[in-house]
Amino acid sequence: MEKMIDHIRLAYNALEKVFVKKIYSDNAITEDDSNLSARITLGVLEKNVYLEYILSQIWKQEPNERVKIILKIGAYMLLFIDKIPDFAVVNETVNFVKNKYKDSLKSNNTQEKKSFNQSTYKFTNFILNSICRKEYKLPKEEDSNYLSITYSKPQWFIDRMIKEFGEGNTLKVLKDNVSVYDYEHIRINSRKDKDEIVHKLEESKSIIRKTLVGGYVVKKNDEIKKLFNKGDITYQSPSSMIAVQGFNPDSGLQILDLCSAPGGKSVYLGELCPDSKILACDISEDRLRKVEQYAKRMNVSNIETKVMDATQFNDKLVNKYDYILVDAPCTCFGTFVKQPDVFIQHDESDIDKLSETQTKILLNAFKYLKANGTIIYSTCTLFKKENDDVIKTALKSNSNFMLEKIDVDINNKGIIRLLPNKEWEGFFVAKIVKKGEN
């Protein structure tokens, strides 16, 4: 696919899914998307706050969501993709709008019909040309919105980060995070011949560096895809690996994963404890199919799946499990580098709602754990309300449960919190053990 308008169309389709249908970007971007369209999609999501700030200085009346998406695509290409000349960006974006208008006349979707009219292309042309002429201002360093606009993060996020982690740490988080379009973190299937796979990775010049957790940062290329499809490797973030490494590999155990889909941690646990049985649960039946596919691809056969709402107490599970993983549903704010749409999918009010859900799930997990058993509680989010506060509330009412050091190469007393940086996504892991008798 060569034509620029096709890249714009693919990016628009993915962004419509994210902004209008609230589908996560990793599901909205498909294999059929070109590298350029995926780059535009992720770029618009990453720069969303910045682009809205600029565009809202130019438009007199805020357009509807679909038109906004097109303007953001054009503005992103003008401001952040140097190799495409400005006139080409403006022309092709305007042509795309004309096509969208024609399509909308035939569409059965009333929202889409209402979104475009004859004058939308003139409006788009006007806005994009204003951007070319730099008819907007950016905040100065002393302005209160400077960090939010410069680093394209919601103002509430900056304020809360500073309040909880201080200005220095917040600046580090904002500055250390470069966009990662072309790299992935992988781990090698524990049951395969590691030396042979490393040799293939080296031969294809895929490895950028080895990581602290025993994985690799690699370039996305055909060899990586091939190894992935064969189940020799899998994509898994270092943080996700740490949560699993918090359990000691052992055999003959009953293991429960209460929020398991799409299966990254269950499958890794299955590899590390091949002679143990894992019950992988999730509230979503569809997502559990992904756990099954994942386990099949990695040749892991000790996982059974079950649809279950983990907030509801299940008396059949009481005192049955040696290890329980609570990789709780969360706001995912620690993943903003890879998933820049987390700020579109969630806002600050979700933090309180999810904290309640997480506490319910963890308190149920306490009831399902055998004496001397271990629970790992993890999230990929940052703020204390979904992390420390959940642990504190659960431990307060259960004196035979306590934190225990997580046996990995990071200094800790039972809790590891990492703010996002070049190496890590932001995440939180706590290890809790049950003393005494059932």
Residue 317 CB, nearest distance to ligand SAM (Å)? 13
Among 327, 341, 386, 425, binds ligand SAM (CB under 6 A): 327
Least Å from the CB of residue 199 to ligand SAM: 28
Q: Which is nearer to ligand SAM, 94 or 259 (CB)?
A: 259
- Does 176 interact with ligand SAM (rule: CB under 6 A)? no
Task: Determine, following the binding rule CB under 6 A, whether residue 283 of this chain makes contact with ligand SAM.
Answer: yes
Residue 66 is a binding residue for ligand SAM (CB under 6 A):
no
Q: Does 47 bind ligand SAM (CB under 6 A)?
A: no
Q: Applying CB under 6 A, does 386 fall inside the site for ligand SAM?
A: no
Q: Does 282 bind ligand SAM (CB under 6 A)?
A: yes
Question: What whole-number distance in Å separates Cα of residue 119 and Cα of residue 101?
Answer: 9
Candidates 140-148, 185-193, 253-261, 271-279: pick the segment binding ligand SAM (CB under 6 A).
Answer: 253-261
Regarding 260 and contact with ligand SAM (CB under 6 A), the answer is yes
37 vs 305 by CB, closer to ligand SAM: 305
Q: What is the DSSP string of 332-360?
A: -GGGTTT-TTHHHH--THHHHHHHHHHHH
Of these, 263, 270, 420, 426, which contacts ligand SAM (CB under 6 A)?
A: 263
Residue from 231, 246, 262, 340 touching ligand SAM (CB under 6 A): that is: 262
Say how many residues touch ligand SAM, by CB under 6 A: 18
Contacting range for ligand SAM; rule: CB under 6 A; set: 41-49, 178-186, 308-316, 423-431: 308-316
Task: Point out which span in 52-60, 201-209, 281-289, 314-322 binds ligand SAM (CB under 6 A).
Answer: 281-289
**Residue 310 or 351 having the CB closest to ligand SAM:** 310
Q: 117 or 301, CB closer to ligand SAM? A: 301
SS3 258: coil
Contact between 299 and ligand SAM by CB under 6 A: the answer reads: no
Q: For residue 231, which of 276, 293, 304, 303 has the smallest C-alpha distance?
A: 293
Burial 56-88 (b: 16+ CB within 10 A, else e): eebeeeebeebbbbbbbbbbbbbbbeeeeebee
Q: Which of 7, 17, 153, 265 binds ligand SAM (CB under 6 A)?
A: 265
Residue 38 has φ and ψ, to the nearest 5°, of: -65, -40
Separation between Cα atoms, residue 384 and residue 404, nearest integer Å: 19
Using rule CB under 6 A, residue 363 touches ligand SAM: no
When asked if residue 331 is in the footprint of ligand SAM (CB under 6 A), the reply is no
C-beta neighbour count of 205 within 10 angstroms: 11
What per-residue string of b and e applies to 302-336 under the rule 16 or more CB within 10 Å gives b?
Answer: bbebeebebbeebeebeebbbbbbbbbbbbbbbbb
345 binds ligand SAM (CB under 6 A): no
DSSP state of 433: E
Classify residue 1 by its DSSP letter: -
Taking the mean position of all CA atoms in its chain, how far away is CA 323?
25
Place of tokens 């080296």: 202
Assess contact for 424 and 238: CB atoms under 8 A.
Answer: yes
CA distance 273 to 248: 9
Closer to ligand SAM by CB, 68 or 360: give it.
360
Taking the least distance from each CB to ligand SAM, the nearer of 258 and 298 is 258
Contacts of 35 (CB under 8 A, 6+ apart): none
* Interaction of residue 255 with ligand SAM, rule CB under 6 A: no
- Give the span between the Cα atoms of 311 and 308, in whole angstroms: 9
Q: Can you tell me which of 56, 111, 229, 284 binds ligand SAM, judged by CB under 6 A?
A: 284
- The DSSP code sequence of 66-125 is HHHHHHHHHHHHHHH-TTS-HHHHHHHHHHHHHHHHHHHHH-S-HHHHHH--TTHHHHHH
Establish if 259 lies at the interface with ligand SAM (CB under 6 A): yes
Least distance in angstroms from the C-beta of 151 to ligand SAM: 25
Instruction: Select from 173-181, 262-270, 413-421, 423-431 the region that touches ligand SAM (CB under 6 A).
Output: 262-270
How far is it, in rounded angstroms, from Cα 302 to Cα 249?
14
Per CB under 6 A, 261 contacts ligand SAM: yes
With contact defined as beta carbons under 8 Å apart, do 48 and 344 qualify?
yes
Residues forming the site for ligand SAM (CB under 6 A): 240, 258-265, 282-284, 287, 309-311, 327, 329
